[in-house]
Structure 1
Amino acid sequence: MSLQKKICLMRLSAIGDVCHAVAMVNRMQHHWPDVELTWVIGKTEYQLVKNMPGIRFVIFDKKQGKKAVQDLKAALADTVFDALLMMQVALRANMASRVIKAKRRIGFDWARSKELHWLFSNQRVQPHRHAHVLEGFMDFADALGVPPVNNVRWDIPIDKDADNWARQEADELGDYVVISPAASKRERNWLPERYAGAVDYLVTKGKAVVLCGGPAELDRQTAAAIEQHTSSITRNYVGNTSLHQLLGLLKYASAVIAPDTGPAHMATTVGTPVIGLYAHSNPRRTGPYLNLKNVVSVYDECIKEQTGKAWQDLPWGTRAKGESLMARISLEDVLTQVDNVLM
Structure 2
Amino acid sequence: MAFVRTTPPRPVDVPAVFPELASLARPAIRLHPRPGEPSVKESSVGGPLLWPADEPWPHCEGPHVDAGFRRPPAEVRMERRRRARLHRDPEGPACTPEEAAVKEQAAARLGERLDAAPPRPADSPVPMLPVAQLYVRDIPLLRPPGRADLLQILWCAYDHEPNYKPATALFWRSAAEVDHILEAPPEPYEAEYDGYVPQPCLLAPEAVTEYPNSLDLGPELSQVVGDWSRWQAAGAAVDDAYAEYPAEFYDSDLADSPGWKVGGWPPWGRTDPHPCYCSVCEARMVPLLTIASFEWDGETDGWVPYEDRAAAASDYPAGLSPAQPTGVEVGSTDNMQLYVCPESPEHPHTDLIQ
TM-score range, shorter chain: under 0.3
- TM-score normalised by structure 1 residue count: 0.26
**More helix per residue: 1 or 2?**
1
Higher relative contact order (CA 8 A, sep 6+): 2
- TM-score normalised by structure 2 residue count: 0.26
Which one has a bigger Cα radius of gyration?
2
